[in-house]
Structure 1
Amino acid sequence: MEPRIELLCLVVFIQVYIIAAVTDSGDVAALNSLKDIWRNLPLNWVGSDPCGDGWEGIQCMNSRVSLITLGSMGLEGQLSDDISSLTELQTLDLSQNQGLTGPLPASIGNLKKLTNLYLNRCGFTGPIPNTIGSLQRLVYLSLNSNKFSGQIPPSIGHLSELNWLDLSDNQLEGSIPVSDGTTPGLDMLANTQHFHFGKNKLTGEIPEQIFSSKMSLIHVLFDDNELSGPIPSTLGLVQSLQVLDLSNNHFDISGIPTWVSSLSSLAILRMESTQLQGHVPVDLFSLPDLQILGLKGNKLNGTLNIGTNVGNQLSLVDLQNNDITEFNGTGGHNIEIELTGNPICQETGPTETYCEPPQSTSLFNTPRSYCSSAKCSSDQVSSTTCKCAYPYTGTLIFIGIFFSDLGNSAAYKALQESLMLCFQSNQLPVDSVSLSNPRMESSTFLSLNFSAFPYDRASFNRTVVSRITFLFSNRSFKPPPSLFGPYFFESDEYNYFSDEPKDTKKSTIVIIIGAAGGGSVLLLLSLLAGVYAFRQKKKAERASIKSDPFARWNVMKNNGSIPQLKGARCFSFEELKKYTNNFSEANYIGSGGYGKVYKGTLPNGKLIAIKRAQQGSKQGVLEFKTEIELLSRVHHKNIVGLLGFCFERHEQTLIYEYVPNGSLNETLSGMSRIRVDWTKRLKIALDTARGLTYLHELANPPIIHRDIKSANILLDQHLTAKVADFGLSKPISDSEKGHVTTQVKGTMGYMDPEYYMTHQLTEKSDVYSFGVLLLELITTRKPIERGKHIVKEVRMAMDKAKDLYSLHQILDPVILDESLKGLEKFVDLAMSCVEESGVDRPKMSEVVKEIENIMQIAGMNPNVETPTSSSSYEGLSKGSPFHPFSNESSANSSTFVASN
């Protein structure tokens, strides 16, 4: 009887599970109301439980709908009052659905917990309801590119948490609201960083009251309106301002306001077609961060005097169609001047470069990745990696760019890489990105065609398209700040969704149970339950192995389940407690995201370092196992020695040889207080190269480290360098010789761009990282500082005709007073290692030979150990971040892991 009772219980349980809805009934009613009036809905909006059934674009918390992301879904219809029932909603993203029309319901003000509202580029009409001011938790309000009319609601002034306010590209009219003691206004938005009001029909003056020194504004855009009167001088109080665009209005001003020259953070200033008269003040060009100055279409006259005190960021001065009669030159500064349409060009003619009209279009296209264009059928397109697919397309529109050449392939490549990094870090299956046809819109904005291609499939599903749109809507994607300013994204309609109806198994069960009544059906259900239980058991076992890769390593049984690891033993947790005095504070030497590091002493007096994961944590468990298996079979003086490990009691502990002088990163940054001269740096470079050569050519199987960086190079008491941290390493089998296709892992700044773009990992990926390390050795600069990559900085500064290649401004001042014999060859070697194509880079064995030659030039014998030693890190204060064995030993060297 018992099995039969259990079976009946199972039937009842399944029936109850299917009938009972998890989602709050009010939220179900609200979504069903939207479902009734919207067209082109996701295919899986079926059933009575949106949370439990996993409705596309719906996320829940405690049975309440908390997030709706349905961007670029092709939705059609209106947003009804029923949306107000979703009172726990925090994010609403319906952006890029131009078929959503009609008014924005006033009841939206009931969504008191809403923090993000993205309705940009839809088809909404009518006034923006004043109830929008009730959403006092709002951080992002994007209503741009609709057909909203009427005035800007004064109630927006109540949104004290607002960071992003974008009402541009609508039909808003009237004056800009400010507070008067009884009604709110935009002057109350002290924490807002973005005022985007361009492309509307706003009239009247910009009120003086709207700006103050308490504001945090960085972008103020009033372009393409019908504003008049003076420009308020209070704008000069907003010292955080970076982008100011007042173009195409009817201001009553005689010249460029004097307060503009006091905006020390200003990067882009556009005042085109604003009735400006008089001279261009020379002190305007001395603003330290100014990059773009757009003043065309005015009545500015006289002599254009750039002066000598020019900010080193200035790249473009656009004064087309003014009345400039003379120009005294740029004084040797690399600045593009555009004076087409001025009297000076009528006199001098087109032979002067500043009189040549700028190119309005460019034929730039993202180059292909070492392959030939595929011949695709139907509407498919060949990607940059030569795969036929249906890309998700649109237009990226940048309000400001910090370069003048529309054919600037380096800028677009940097943009492409940052897009891929964003998609990869958000675990989106994007294989490649293509950018093309850069062009200037309205003489102000850069427009760029964008295409994203799916990974390992012909098209994207709705989830991925919605998530890509969401990254653009909430500005999670951040373009390179040194090249591109703020942006908008306009998607094209996507008609190739790969989705199929889901939960077919569940519906089958419902049908079977609904027809239950006969013995045969009951027997079938019993079989089904058995199969289900068996599959669940197997699934649980697989999940267990996946979450615990040591599941098959049974330390309690002497059955050979633990691999025979050369030179590494399995320590018991009790032993480690004894060696570290119960992990006492006196033995603690550092910590990081992985956990803590302790110094221990073996019974024979040998010092060890114990890297212990946080108690109960599974962070990095696969990397932990990888490091054990790899380091146990590599033995070289330039590779940190693994003595053992412990994985009992849920512990993840690695036991290393004790390396007293920490990481190279800490030495170069000054944290370890160890001074390394030119000869020591050469020796460190040689040690590291020899360690990598061993991994690539002598280890069996060969190993690609995949995360070479200064934080992973340790220095012993003689400053001998040892390669450490093999958590991301990849052994290469005979079948994978040449390359292995794998997910992208590594540290930004050190990562091989070819590997990043193609996912094809080779030994040359380590060579690239090593090249970056060589540049870090001589400059002590981080690979990426203020958005600039060290490789590009060195390449731009190099002049081979001059002493030390004219790198004096980049080299570490500590070594500048030395005789840097061989430095030029050292730089040549580094630059050969960071060649864009892997085939152009040397092998590590060739690198070793070249460093040995350089050391001989410097009067050193590469085969003689340097006797120099230095103090260990024991003298550092407790709790400092100094711990050479931690994955997180450097805050600036974050590891990037992108899943495909």
Structure 2
Amino acid sequence: MTSSSRVKSTTTLLSSGETFKKFGEFQVPRMLYLSKGCGCEVVLFLWFCCYLLLTAGQITEPTEGDLPEELGQLSVLNRIQIDENNITGSIPLSFANLNRTEHIHMNNNSLSGQILPELFQLGSLVHLLLDNNNFTGYLPPEFSEMPSLRILQLDNNDFGGNSIPESYGNISKLSKLSLRNCNLQGPIPDFSRIPHLAYLDLSFNQLNESIPTNKLSDNITTIDLSNNKLTGTIPSSFSGLPRLQKLSFANNSLSGYVPSTIWQDRSLNGTERLILDMQNNQLTIISGTTNLPPNVTLLLEGNPVCTNNNTLVQFCGPEIDNGLNGNYSVNCPSQECPSPYEYTVECFCVAPLVVHYRLKSPGFSDFRTYERTFESFLTDGLNVDINQLFIKSFAWEEGPRLRMNLKLFPECINNKSYCFFSTSEVIRIRNLFRDWGILSSDLFGPYELLDFIVGPYRDVISPSPSSWISKGALVGIVLGAIACAITLSAIVSILILRIRLRDYGALSRQRNASRISVKIDGVRSFDYNEMALASNNFSESAQIGEGGYGKVYKGHLPDGTVVAIKRAQEGSLQGEREFLTEIELLSRLHHRNLLSLIGYCDQGGEQMLVYEYMPNGALRNHLSANSKEPLSFSMRLKIALGSAKGLLYLHTEANPPIFHRDVKASNILLDSRYTAKVADFGLSRLAPVPDIEGNVPGHVSTVVKGTPGYLDPEYFLTYKLTDKSDVYSLGVVFLELVTGRPPIFHGENIIRHVYVAYQSGGISLVVDKRIESYPSEYAEKFLTLALKCCKDEPDERPKMSEVARELEYICSMLPEYDTKGAEYDTSNYSGTVCSSQPSSSTIKTPFISEDVSGSDLVSGGMPTIRPR
């Protein structure tokens, strides 16, 4: 790499040596320059730019050591790039906080341990590259819930013979999935539901059973299932894939015939090629014609068909050509251009820029098909004419990655004999390459600049890194402002595009709004136009929430009823039968502590649920430091009791019974009187039903779903969902009610936090400081119950009926007091309390009363909970 290419932008964090562990010491850094040998640890510390990149190729020595836990506290990170270093250890749990991060490139390191399931919380993540590390354990099923994930690359890790989660077939925006050489077993999931899938590599594993028969996306270019233990026949569904470049089933145990429709139904132009690698199977015949077009390569070596049919000898030898080197010839005067100029085809002498460039995760196998597309993509990003770019050579590297040597020529105008770039143009082009100013695409994936050779311009552009650094913060601030301006421009462009797409989508839905939806007794069926009218055409001003399912809007029906409209986003849509079955089930659930379903919409490609509107929102909002008025202690007990009763109804009264699976403070809503309403329950959590002899299994096996901090550890490890899983999650909510803290706060689990205080007798240290007054003995009883719910062993947790009964007991013993008075008045006690109002700031005197013995559930010894 030339010295000029090492000039770092304000979008870069570089590290080596001792400074690597210091990343998390800064609260909101946008850029740091940390390099061994610069003479100082922190040269630039800017607050302007919106990227943070840890880039191996731009530091003088490889970065080593573990990833610091504090790195996850930098919640504004957009990009983490520390590939090709010697990073060891596991991914810190704090990475689950990086909810603005779009790119995590930590491939080619020595990271180990279990890949964090909590990474599924990163709703903005687009690229996750963790290939070529030492990860073990299993593939987190939760990754299927990542709404923006487009590239998932985990090659060359050891997942210990575990299977590929079936849920990976639901990653709706995925364009590339690469699990090459991961020691995976079991069947291949059905990936036919992923509309944009372009690249699928599951090679060099232990996958068995047969190949799924459903047809993959029309965008697919590469399917590599080689070197597995697949059996059965080759499905005909691989026919008619318009962009297919490579289909490899080599080194399996497939039998039967090779469908000739795979190449007969594929229309190829002059630059396109199709490679079909079927070597070393048990294939015995080719169905249909064997007259292949010249740009189709069929490899059959090692199959019985090669010994049974002499006419197929042409297909029975290995031959794959992965790339070509480009070159151009000219017929110009014998006198050569003076160095460093060179002739163009038009015989102009020009001074080119040479760029060494690598595609880190391309979505194709044959670059020649997309060479012209790439030229257009790159020159559009650089804002130069397509004729100014020449791809001198390209070659595939291990990964697979694609390395290219490019030349950029200046425009020759006014018939000049010698042409060159202006200094500002060289700097502009270099900065676009260096600062990731060329937007990535699903097809070409992320890229990296390997070298930028300025040639004749070396003396007129920016000085070397050392002299650039010496200019200190002044130059840094200027570059930071430039980066910020670029980022703001990109944001504005994206917003405009989103508005246009939204308007187009609304128009399309209105055109389809005439479809009649099915009627279900007990709930109202709405059409799309009614929902659009109620929500002001789903305007942003009407939006009151957003989750993994989709967005939630506040709506007003013509009769004046205020409702909450939950609108499914792309990727969350169910099959029509499944959706209507869930509606029919929900329509039968009626309890004062469950959120009531009013109606639904299943029309014009839309699925919406219409619920009663909760004016006081989610419980989590009332426990945050930003809540306007704190909840009183009795109010918190009332919410706890209502939540327990709602879940008890689901467990015991619903037909069939339902396990919630995602109990958390944001799924407990509050009406105008602060009555708790449990929300977000449905078909996917049905409890086991009795067998023919009337025996009820103790659990149901299911893909782990839930929210980190609330997940039952037994369910997380065994996939066995029981009623005690909901008890555990509700216990965490109880701890939130007492402390006001979220389940994970500054990397510490709330259970450990409360347990340590409980052991030391310092309960007052963990009680929410916004509760100005509370009866300490009842707070202790509430905490004891919560900790019992959160025991690691399910058998040691109480049943939901016992939880509800204990809360009723605590409420019955809690004296009533006048919230407008100056103190708790025990003389006015009149029975069960758990007030419906927030606490008053005028209460001054803490409650003092005689000892209350308590019920059997909480009057025992201190609970034993292993801290986490």
- State the TM-score bracket (shorter-chain normalisation): 0.3 to 0.5
TM-score by length of 1: 0.41
